[in-house]
Amino acid sequence: MNFEVKLFAGAREIVGKDLVIVSLEAGATVADLRIALGQSIPALRETIEHVKFAVNHDYADDDTCLSPDSEIACIPPVSGG
């Protein structure tokens, strides 16, 4: 199953795109997504340990289940203000 993940700031710059598609099994969680992203994009491996993920505009726990119609985003540590 394919999941689109939005990328921002440093993560976007490392990957060179603002969206990546990650293939995960049905019922996959945020924790599974983190592992898959680190494996498929080696340059992201260090950063990915420090990011949060948002599902439908809310921060998600590691055990949050992903659904293909959710809006998923990778949120590196924020620095607005």
Partner 1 sequence: MPRLTFEPIDSACLLTEVQSARAGAVVLFLGTTREYTDGRRTVSLEYDCYRDMAQQKLEQLQAEACQKWSLVHCAIVHRLGDVDLGEVSVAVAVSAGHREAAFAAGKWLIDTIKEVVPIWKKENWHDGTSEWVHPGISE
Q: Which residues bind partner 1 (CB under 8 A)?
A: 6, 8-10, 12-13, 46-47, 50, 54, 57-59, 71, 73, 75-81
Q: Which is nearer to partner 1, 28 or 73 (CB)?
A: 73
Q: Which is nearer to partner 1, 25 or 80 (CB)?
A: 80
**Which residues, 6 or more positions from 41, have their beta carbon under 8 angstroms from its beta carbon?**
14, 15, 20
Q: Which is nearer to partner 1, 1 or 46 (CB)?
A: 46
CB contact at 8 A, 28 and 65: yes
* Both tokens assigned to 47: 């950063």
